[in-house]
Amino acid sequence: MLLLNPEANSEALGRELMLAGRLAAAAQGAASFMRLVTIGAERGPTAAAIQALGRVLSNEMPALKLRRIDLAAPLALADAARRLLAELQHDNHAEAEITLTEAGRLVPRLLPGLPPAPPPAGPLMLTVAQPGQLSSLHWVPISAPGALAEGEVMLRVEAAGLNFRDLMWAQGLLPEETLLPGFAGPGLGIECAGVVEAVGPKAPWRVGDAVFGFAPRALAGRVITRADALAARPEGLSPAAAATVPVAFMTAVYALEEMARLDAVSALPSEYPGWMIERQSGARHPKPFVPVKS
């Protein structure tokens, strides 16, 4: 058992945190359990810091069965000692974190708060109110679309892909001006699969067609995109699987055709992982070979 000073200054706190970490490391494999006792962690920043370290140690060293016991600050010394002794004598390892107070023994529990608000009616779109704050992600209603322009298609989204670009945008790591010239623009989602709900003039799709492809702000229930950014979804390919294809496929195509300048006279081994895309790009394939490790 390790009982730490609740009134340590910052320098002493650093030493105590280091001591707790070293003792936990030394106890691994040698002790069946460890107890970390603090005083006043609910209000005292020093004891709270030690409790926080205890949570980290519990996550990183689960075999140590570290339990964190806090004595509420208002407890008199004799009362605190009596309650702590009783806790240690009846230790059944059931609770990882305990607070002993004048009112009794308390343990943390995660319980539902207010009932969830009913979702807005109609299709929704995922947006971030404040880039850089993932907690500001929320769904907003999509306004009713007007008449579709030439070559435009409206989809009912069945599945959408999540890309690292979306995470960077939500975290505020992509300036808006870097996305404005692009096809998807500043927003979340760029690929999806769904069913055609409406078509604009000269769009080659029909209502009810199952398609997948690129669309701006694709993390939504409904999107409007260009007809030439879509492809028919093959039979047997689920919407969830189809929604993951466009970005990965076009990344490979761009790498092979634009960066590697792959053409019809290029030759690559058929065992190469990207052989299907290369084949569609026109590359020829020599006879299979056996790779040799150096």
Reference 54, options 41, 73, 72, 71; nearest CA is 41
Q: Are the C-beta atoms of residues 71 and 40 closer than 8 Å to each other? A: yes
Whole-prediction pTM value? Answer: 0.54
- Expressed in angstroms, the distance from the first to the final Cα of the chain is 54
Helix (H) or strand (E) holding 19: helix 10-27
> What is the spatial distance between Cα 279 and Cα 294, in angstroms, rounded to a whole number?
28
Q: pLDDT in tens for each of the 294 residues of the chain? A: 556 555 666 677 777 778 778 877 877 776 667 888 888 877 778 788 888 888 888 888 888 788 888 888 778 888 888 888 888 887 766 788 888 888 888 888 888 888 877 877 889 999 998 888 888 999 999 988 889 999 999 999 999 999 999 999 898 888 777 777 778 788 899 999 999 999 999 999 999 999 999 999 999 999 999 999 999 999 999 999 999 999 999 998 888 888 888 776 565 555 555 544 445 545 444 444 444 343
What's the whole-number average pLDDT of the chain?
Answer: 82
Residue at which a domain ends, from 39, 74, 106? 106
Q: Is 175 part of any domain?
A: yes
Q: Which residues pair with 226 in a beta bridge?
A: 152
Same domain, residue pair 87 and 6: yes
Specify the CATH number for the domain of residue 225: 3.90.180.10
Q: Is 184 part of any domain?
A: yes
Same domain, residue pair 135 and 59: no
pLDDT digits (tens, 9 = 90+) for 72-122: 877 888 888 888 888 888 776 678 888 888 888 888 888 888 887 787 788
Same domain, residue pair 13 and 94: yes
Residue at which a domain ends, from 195, 220, 240? 240
Q: How many helices (H) and strands (E) does the chain have?
A: 8, 12
Q: Is 270 part of any domain?
A: no
Question: Where in the sequence is the domain holding 35, given as residue range(s)?
Answer: 2-106
How crowded is residue 102: how many other Cβ atoms within 10 Å of its Cβ?
A: 11
Helix (H) or strand (E) holding 164: helix 164-170
